[in-house]
Amino acid sequence: MKTFTDKVAAITGAGSGMGRSLALELARRGAHLALSDIDDASVAFTAAACRDFGVHVTARRLDVSDRDAVFAWASETAEMHGKVNFIFNNAGVSLSVPVATARLEDIEWLMNINFWGVVHGTQAFLPYLTASGEGHVVNTSSLFGIVAMPTQSAYNASKFAVRGFTEALRMELDLAGSPVTATCVHPGGVATNIVHTSRIDDSITTLTGMDAQTHRRRANKLIDVTSADAAARQILAGVSHNARRVLVGADARRVDKLARLLGASYQALVVWFYRRTAVARKPRATAADAARYE
């Protein structure tokens, strides 16, 4: 699909971050939009900004973990816009906790949004994408869908699952000779609100030497590599060229190469790095500390 002009794109998580930037960039290119987000006010703000480009925009609150609601939104989108050409399954959340102390309800919360939200969106929109004669499923995985990290087991599981799901879908569509195709997106550090809204368990201190607030500050620095606007442009460039995989940001490309070069050995490198930084964060003993044991 070489152009977005007069196409109809549905986007989840459109209230902020990459979702909002994708919506604005698509509107700038002449695409009509169906926007959704769990936050009413934020998606309404995005919709108003997109309408300034003279395109047809609809917006609604949506919990992507609610299968019936997603299917209802897909039907509503097709009815209100007349067709649907793209579904960007972009909504996502994060969770930082060691496996040993992770609560099942937190893992289920994350999987219901990050993975099942993608499944719901894909299945709900596929019939309408097929009917359009030119459709595209764009699913957001992560750099953490390529490599794993300590305390990120649930997030890794969801993003690896999105990657496998999307790659299998792409092959099925190719085999069927479908007018629909699929792309898996792997953002590296993109400046969004995901860390601010993430769940971070204090038990990570035992592994990382950081409390929850320190972890959040460090994570915010790590994701501040690529702006959401630049990420949106890179994603749309990949989609327009029908790429099977889009690596967003120089950090994502570097880590992908490193993972392919090292294979499973990258895990030992990560463990070494965490141990080294944990030791560096330990406070040095002072003379007063030593005196307590004299």
Residues classed as catalytic = 155
The number of beta carbons lying within 10 Å of the beta carbon of residue 151 is 23
SS3 content of the chain, % helix, strand, coil (to 5): 55, 15, 30
Measure the CA–CA gap between 32 and 147, rounded to whole angstroms. 35
Residue whose structure tokens are 């496996």: 99
**Angle subtended at Cα 204 by Cα 221 and Cα 261, rounded to the nearest 5 degrees:** 60
Three-state DSSP state, 174: helix
Tokens coding 209:
């030497």
C-beta pairs of 71-80 under 8 Å, 24+ apart in sequence? 71/120, 71/123, 71/124, 73/10, 73/34, 73/36, 73/124, 74/10, 74/121, 74/124, 74/125, 74/128, 76/34, 77/8, 77/10, 77/34, 77/125, 77/128, 78/128, 78/131, 80/34
**Tokens 């030497």 label which residue?**
209
What does the alpha-carbon distance between residue 65 and residue 109 come to, in Å, rounded to a whole number? 9
Place of tokens 């987000």: 37
Distance of CA 263 to the CA centre of its chain: 24
7 contact partners, CB below 8 Å, separation of at least 6: 1, 31, 32, 85, 86, 134
Eight-class DSSP state of 55: -
